[in-house]
Amino acid sequence: MSGAAEESIAFERIGGEPGTRALVDRFYDLMDLEPAYAELRALHPSTLDGSRDKLYWFLCGWLGGPSHYTDRFGHPMLRARHMPFSIGIKERDQWMACMREAMVGQGLDAALAARLGEAFHGTADWMRNKGV
Ligand code: HEM
């Protein structure tokens, strides 16, 4: 396990499966509605149902909970799976801003949101596949 799971209580502190699902749903609701995330939204399919499920399954494991994603798809190979999408600084920063807004909206306490924000940033930055 990697990322935020080093302190395995992250999954419990976020509220287990229902809390993780609620965070993911808020993240994609914001992405769908907020003009500030338009370029990020445009990279995604017209319906976000599949994206919601996959990020939810992935985050359960990443936060230290059940391994729903790897049970279904094997190793996440996240960087390879993001290669079809052109991801630079702007896309990374929109993803991070959308996730930070979702965490605040879900009422995560500041210390947890800060810790997860750092871990998310590391992963989001690793997903960049173009210079700008
Ligand atoms: C850096 C900016 C990012 C962009 C622009 C981006 C964009 C995308 C797009 C367009 C998809 C395809 C959605 C679909 O097939 O429905 C996707 C899939 C996914 N993303 Fe991201 N993403 C970013 C960062 C992240 C981060 C930081 C994580 C994890 C913490 C993440 C986790 C995932 C997962 C688990 C999938 C599903 C992969 C699969 O099984 O196909 N993404 N992302």
SS (H, E, C) the chain: CCHHHHCCCHHHHCCHHHHHHHHHHHHHHHHHHCHHHHHHHHCCCCCCHHHHHHHHHHHHHHCCCCCHHHHHHCCCCHHHHHCCCCCCHHHHHHHHHHHHHHHHHCCCCHHHHHHHHHHHHHHHHHCCCCCC
Residue 7, pLDDT score: 53
Atom of ligand 1 nearest to the CA of 43: 10
Contact 69, 17 (CB under 8 A): no
Considering the entire predicted model, what is its pTM? 0.94
- If one residue of 51, 60, 120 were mutated to test the ligand 1 pocket, choosing by the most ligand atoms within 8 A of its CB, it would be 51
Contact 76, 58 (CB under 8 A): yes
The residue nearest atom 33 of ligand 1, judged by CA position, is 55
- C-alpha of residue 82 to centroid of ligand 1, in Å: 6
Residue 1, pLDDT score: 46
pLDDT tens sequence for the chain (132 residues): 445 545 558 999 999 999 999 999 999 999 999 999 999 999 999 999 999 999 999 999 999 999 999 999 999 999 999 999 999 999 999 999 999 999 999 999 999 999 999 999 999 999 999 987
Residue 97, pLDDT score: 98
